Amino acid sequence: MAEKIDYAALKKGGFMRQKQKGCFSLRLAVVGGNLTAENIKTVAEVAEKYGHGYVHMTSRQGIEIPFIKVEDINEVKEELAKGGVGTGVCGPRVRTITACQGAAICPSGCIDTYTLAKELDARYFGRELPHKFKFGVTGCQNNCLKAEENDVGIKGGMTVECNHDDCIQCGVCVKVCREGALRMEDGKIVIDREKCNNCARCVKSCPTDAWVGEPGYIVSFGGLFGNKIYKGEQIVPIIRDKETLFRVTDAAISFFEKHANAGERFRLTLERIGKEEFQKEVQAAYEGR
């Protein structure tokens, strides 16, 4: 008698059933979109040996190897592990953290996205929840990772100040500000804090470094881009330190874990329970209460 296949356990470990009988598409763990050259070689070798010689690049920076046969699963995991490649997860749990290249590479970046993605991954990846839960980290207001489509989206920004003693009144910052938050008034730069979106284009464009910026995290909650579409919403001001950031993300996951029904996405939980209740808990976490 053939051994019964535990499909739930395989799905938890990243093996998704294909329409072809006995075949699985294996989702790999790719944190922040980064793999080493050695990782990529290993993936290619496994795809050649056990799959159909190709991989699929997912919409969330993942890699999937299709056509893995059920009898090869253990060997596939062993060979991937030797090359430093882990398997991903599917089902009702925290998924792989996505990230753009951020300040380490991109001139527009305001935060180190990859380091943060690794820290979030270590803190939450694979955590069992009532339904899937997605994080996305993007480095600036250009929003390459589309932070607001995630259950929790984190966007880099800066709180900016102008040192008027170093300002030469060239007006470059006024020209590059897309929000109309800056103006020249009596030979001095004036900032409208209500309009400022913390993009830091003023900081990055200033020829005399008169503008200085303190990096921070703009967090949105409840994004959903599936059968129903909702844009994640910012509830608390820009966060300036990771301790506060992690308190806030802990509060979000704990709220979801406590209140969500099985198979219910975070946004729908917020709509059902009431966003006001969630806002109270997040605000308390933000304030360290």
The tokens of 148 are what?
Answer: 């607001």
Q: Give residue 82's pLDDT.
A: 97
pTM > 0.85? yes
On whether residue 204 sits in a domain, the answer given is: no
Q: Give residue 1's pLDDT.
A: 39
The tokens of 177 are what?
Answer: 């500000």
What does each of the 289 residues of the chain score in pLDDT, given as a tens digit?
346 889 899 999 999 999 999 999 999 999 999 999 999 999 999 999 999 999 999 999 999 999 999 999 999 999 999 999 999 999 999 999 999 999 999 999 999 999 999 999 999 999 999 999 999 999 999 999 999 999 999 999 999 999 999 999 999 999 999 999 999 999 899 999 999 999 999 999 999 999 999 999 999 999 999 899 999 999 999 999 999 999 999 999 999 999 999 999 999 999 999 999 999 999 999 999 8
CA dist., res. 107 & res. 35, Å (int): 21
On whether residue 207 sits in a domain, the answer given is: no
Cβ burial of 144 (10 Å; 0-12, 13-18, 19+) is middle
Domain of 112, CATH number, reads 3.30.413.10
Q: Give residue 4's pLDDT.
A: 81
On whether residue 195 sits in a domain, the answer given is: no
Domain of 35, CATH number, reads 3.30.70.3340
CA dist., res. 19 & res. 282, Å (int): 42
CA dist., res. 201 & res. 185, Å (int): 19
Do residues 241 and 151 both lie within one domain? yes
CA dist., res. 50 & res. 171, Å (int): 60
Instruction: Give the ranges where 110-157 is alpha helix by DSSP (H).
Output: 113-124
Domain containing 128 equals 98-159+214-287
Last residue of a domain, one of 47, 62, 90: 90
On whether residue 18 sits in a domain, the answer given is: yes
**CA angle in degrees (0–180, nearest 5) for 256-101-210:** 105
Q: Give residue 3's pLDDT.
A: 65
DSSP code for 141: T
Do residues 234 and 273 both lie within one domain? yes
| 84 torsion bin: left (phi>0), alpha (psi -120 to 50), beta (else) | left
The tokens of 78 are what?
Answer: 């062993």
